[in-house]
Structure 1
């Protein structure tokens, strides 16, 4: 029978160099999902890839085959969990409980976009649709009912706090922001809140750079202007979706002349060549360095995290009930079909022995026989529905073996999935 499998690596289990190799950039996601769907035993797939994690949520009879596809990008030990444990992991991710900055809100939008990409690629199905909709609803509930996101904690705000800790007041500093996406916007907002008024935004698409710079009183330009800006910058924060480094040590050595410069690289894969750390006067922080700085961040509210965990567990019970019904229904449908088949076979075998039986009485005999089977199966059906998660799978397997239902369950799986898709 189909199972849900979550597997991946995150900032908690893999360093930045590994996360870079696992990262799925825009344009890589859909081909990767189709590669997963081509595997035998995989029927649904969603990929979540952010600067701090790459995770797959796979459904099928052999979902673990997806592990070798992910390992092909980076030979690393992957964490994995199944069924309700996999759902619990996603619920915690969406709620910000598994984030580098606990409570950060950006992850909810990132997971939503990952799910929408899988929908567009047509790689979701009944189970992943239910899973991601429920997880996103749980994340919204956590942020509504707790103060875990109070203060709008984010990687961007932590990066700006780290800059202030390293170089002091920021208002008089010249800041260069490379990239104009969501993270860059948060960085610009955080610097603006600290009084920074000399800000330059560089981006491949000039219109996006202009819009972001105007919002926070800065200037904008193309990447061609970046060397001139690097010469005068005090702080550089980079967050693009480039597949390769866009600033190297040669560029910095040519324009800096040993002057102090703080560079914060929020991109995965990295925008800044790690060799830049060896340039005189340059201090380089990447996501791994930022993770070390964030461990003592004040945005982590233990009491709110405890309340959030309680909400996750409450919502998981609802999902567990739905998942249990998903597992139980094909077996119960096959059991009822087996009972109907037995009645039909007996009626057919004895049809020639009832020469004097009227058509009306024959209908009564058939109704009585089917009623006996229905009543006989009622009690085991109700008991199977009431099984908890710890015993359900083993008991269902025993039931299928006792009644020889394996073929029936397999043949009914497609029909049952169609019914669940309409209901989901």
Structure 2
């Protein structure tokens, strides 16, 4: 039977220095999914990569081999040994994997609980997998139900109030910096979704001077026009850094864009004016050594955790309500997943029992000395009736199972009865079930 497996790292298990090495840039997602899909027994695959997490969801017949293969692929991408990465990786199966995805989509696993962006990120990841033809029945149901759960959490709770997110927290910090200068200016490096969210949050804080630098000129112009800013090119970045008071970096570049030497040169030309740099990109846009440049305050996504902790209690009650919704939806998923496994298991168990009954009758065919053809038919019917009677109650109980441990229970049953082993063993390798007559003068003991 196939199993759902989730393998990944997040801000809870790995620092940004590790996460950025595992991040999948938009152009690499399809290639990575093809590589995962090519692994032995992997039938379906979806990958999620954001500034806070990189996760791979697969469906495989052999989850142990699939986990090892995906871990090796991630380690190769990060350029480290799998054993070094093992301490940061989490691996979840079936309902535990589904519960984790539901929590991610609902914002319960985010650095800022309840952030709105993550649901869109999960949807885009699923859309990318659909485009790569790497999904299937299990992942389709899993991701659609996870997105529905996230939508339900946001409609039935106030977990998303104030639209707290990494972008909004970054905008708040930038606004604090601008309050200390007479005419503050913010430079947005990148014009993707995170940059757009930051621009919207800055506008909500009353920030008017926004400069956008982006390789895609049209996207930069569009974003600047919407939020009353100006668009500039990457070539003009050094000059824009000289006049900006705060910089928010959000590109998807695989390499750092701003180095310590470059920023040091900029700071010399700024005449002692401080510069706040907020690096929201993973991989990071700014080299960590920039933090050591005099006059520069550098924050990355992990540094924002202190701000997050100050706001966490605000949403605690709503988060508990959201947890309840997730558990309700997980029970539905468990029932659906269980039915996929219960019926085949029940069928295999009954088929195994019936085959054993027929085999015993065949093995003892020569021992019915005076039995007629009709008698032999009655013996076989009796043997089948015994099997059916024995399996009746287990069948009812198996069909009635509906908790989130059902997969494990079905696996135990398949293991106990050898339902996944080769059923056509050579007759010589099976023990004979011999029917012996009672010796004269003895009675059967009750």
Q: Same fold (TM over 0.5)?
A: yes
Mapped partners of 2:326, 2:42: distance in 1: 27
What per-residue deviation string (whole Å, max 9, x for no partner) do you get for residues 106-154 of structure 1? 0001011111111222222222222111111110000000000011111
Q: Is the 8 A contact 2:178 2:185 kept in 1?
A: no
Offset at 1:329? 2.3
Q: In structure 2, what is the equivalent of residue 40 of structure 1?
A: 40
Mapped partners of 1:409, 1:195: distance in 2: 72
Q: Is the 8 A contact 1:172 1:196 kept in 2?
A: no
Q: In structure 1, what is the equivalent of residue 229 of structure 2?
A: 218
Out of 64, 67, 73, the residue aligned to residue 64 of structure 1 is 67
Mapped partners of 1:206, 1:315: distance in 2: 43
Q: Is the 8 A contact 1:7 1:80 kept in 2?
A: yes
Alignment of 1:386-401 (within 5 A): 386-387=400-401, 389=403, 392=406, 396-397=410-411, 399-400=413-414
Offset at 1:375? 7.0
Offset at 1:392? 4.5
Structure 1: tracts of 5 or more residues without a match: 357-361, 411-424
Out of 203, 208, 227, the residue aligned to residue 197 of structure 1 is 208
Q: In structure 1, what is the equivalent of residue 429 of structure 2?
A: none
Aligned in 2, Cα 1:69/1:328: closer, same or farther, shift over 3 Å? same
Q: Is the 8 A contact 2:192 2:251 kept in 1?
A: yes
Q: In structure 1, what is the equivalent of residue 248 of structure 2?
A: 237
Q: In structure 2, what is the equivalent of residue 177 of structure 1?
A: 188
Aligned in 2, Cα 1:394/1:56: closer, same or farther, shift over 3 Å? closer
Q: In structure 2, what is the equivalent of residue 379 of structure 1?
A: 393
Aligned in 2, Cα 1:229/1:404: closer, same or farther, shift over 3 Å? closer
* SS at structure 2 position matched to 1:305: helix
Q: Taking structure 1 as the reference length, what is the TM-score of the superposition?
A: 0.85
What per-residue deviation string (whole Å, max 9, x for no partner) do you get for residues 36-83 of structure 1? 222233222211110011112122113322222223325322122222
Mapped partners of 1:393, 1:269: distance in 2: 37
Mapped partners of 1:252, 1:107: distance in 2: 32
Aligned in 2, Cα 1:95/1:397: closer, same or farther, shift over 3 Å? closer
Alignment of 1:248-397 (within 5 A): 248-256=259-267, 257=269, 258-297=272-311, 300-338=314-352, 377-387=391-401, 389=403, 392=406, 396-397=410-411
1:151 aligns with 2:162: yes
Q: Is the 8 A contact 1:170 1:194 kept in 2?
A: no
Mapped partners of 1:230, 1:103: distance in 2: 33
Q: Taking structure 2 as the reference length, what is the TM-score of the superposition?
A: 0.81
What per-residue deviation string (whole Å, max 9, x for no partner) do you get for residues 152-209 of structure 1? 1111110111223445368831111111111111111111122222211111010000
- Residues paired across the two proteins, number: 403
Q: Is the 8 A contact 2:334 2:404 kept in 1?
A: no
Mapped partners of 2:287, 2:361: distance in 1: 79
370-379 vs 333-342, which deviates more?
A: 370-379
Aligned in 2, Cα 1:233/1:299: closer, same or farther, shift over 3 Å? farther
Structure 2: tracts of 5 or more residues without a match: 366-370, 425-446
Aligned in 2, Cα 1:8/1:390: closer, same or farther, shift over 3 Å? closer
Offset at 1:2? 2.5
What per-residue deviation string (whole Å, max 9, x for no partner) do you get for residues 210-264 of structure 1? 0000001111121112122111111111100101111223333333333211111
Mapped partners of 2:108, 2:405: distance in 1: 29
Aligned in 2, Cα 1:355/1:3: closer, same or farther, shift over 3 Å? closer
Aligned in 2, Cα 1:49/1:282: closer, same or farther, shift over 3 Å? same
* SS at structure 2 position matched to 1:110: helix
Mapped partners of 1:401, 1:263: distance in 2: 57
Q: In structure 1, what is the equivalent of residue 257 of structure 2?
A: 246
Mapped partners of 1:385, 1:407: distance in 2: 23
258-267 vs 298-307, which deviates more?
A: 298-307
